[in-house]
Amino acid sequence: MKALITGASSGIGRDMARVLAKKGYNLVLVARDEQKLNELAEELRKENKIETQVISMDLSIEQNCKDLHKSVKDVDILINNAGFGDCGNFTHTDLNKELTMIKTNIIAYHILTKLYLVDMKAKNSGKILNVASIAGFMPGPLMATYYSTKAYVVRLSESIREELKKEKSNVQISILCPGPVNTNFNNVANVKFHMRESNSYNVANFAIKKLLKGRFYIIPGLDVKFGIFFSHFVPSSFVAKITYIVQKRKLEK
C-alpha cells in the first residue's frame, strides 16, 4: 500500500506520515524542504522498515502538480495537506503571498484531487484526504484569503463525495477540519493563538484512524465540532463579528 502526502516536512503532514508508516504504508513525501524530507524519510525507514520516496517540489507551480502525478502512480491514499495562511486586514496583506496561497491551498488541491481521482475511479479503490479547517465553514475577517481557500476545499470535497455516492464508487474522499494546531503554520501566518492548540500528532493519528474507517467529516475535538455546529445556526454576520475578535487577538502578540 502506498500513500502520497503533500506538505510532509512538518506539522500534521509529517505526523500523518509517521502514523501511516506504523501501519506499514510505503510513503511518497512531498514538500519544498528537501533536508527535512530526507530526515523524515530516514527516520521512517529505520523505525518501520518501509519504502519512502522524497520529492522536493513547490506545489504552487501548476506544472509541478501535473509532473508529480505523472511520476507517482498506484497511489492508494492521497493526502492533500500542503498549505499556509496569512493574517491581517485584506487591504494590507501582501498580494503576491495571497496569490501563492491560492495556488497552493486551492489549485494544487484541485489538480491533484482530479488527476488521482481519475486513477482511483479506474481501479474502483483509493482514498483522498483533503486537509481543510474549521475556517472552511465560516467567514474569516483578518484572514479572508485563507478562510476562503479552505471553504473551497470543503465545498469541492462535499461535491465530489456526492458524485461518488451516486456512482456507487468504492473510492472515498474525506476532509480533515481541525481548529488551531501547534505547528509551523502559525509562524508563516504571522499569528499567535490565544486559545488552546491541539497537538499535531494527536490530530494526525485521529485523522488517519477516521480516514481508514471511511469517515467523511473528520473533526478533532469537541470544541471544534461545536464551533462548526454553531456557525450553521447563527447569522453569518454574527459569526463574522466573533471571528474578527478572535483574529484581532492573534495579531496582538
The stretches of 107-172 forming alpha helices (DSSP H) are 108-123, 144-166
The pLDDT value given to residue 196? 55
| CATH architecture observed for domain 2-251 | 3-Layer(aba) Sandwich (3.40)
Q: Which one is catalytic: 25, 109, 116, 146?
A: 146
According to the model, what pLDDT value does residue 230 have?
66
Kindly report the number of other CB atoms within 10 A of residue 146's CB atom.
25
- Residue tagged 528537501 (cell numbers): 34
pTM above 0.85, yes or no: yes
Considering the chain, what is the average pLDDT of its residues? 91
Nearest to 245 by CA among 158, 160, 139: 139
Assigned C-alpha cell, 104: 497552493
Residues in Cβ contact with 243 at an 8 Å cutoff, skipping those fewer than 6 apart: 138, 139, 140, 141, 142
**How far is it, in rounded angstroms, from Cα 204 to Cα 207?**
5
- The mean pLDDT of 58-74, rounded to a whole number, is 98
How far apart (Å, rounded) are the C-alpha atoms in residues 178 and 135? 9
pLDDT for 179: 84
| Residue 146 annotated to the active site | yes
Query: Cβ(153)–Cβ(102) under 8 Å?
Result: no
**Which tens digit of pLDDT belongs to each residue from 104-116?**
999 999 999 999 9
Q: Which residue ranges make up each domain of the chain?
A: 2-251
pLDDT band at 33 (very low <50, low <70, confident <90, very high): very high
Share of the chain above pLDDT 70, in %: 90
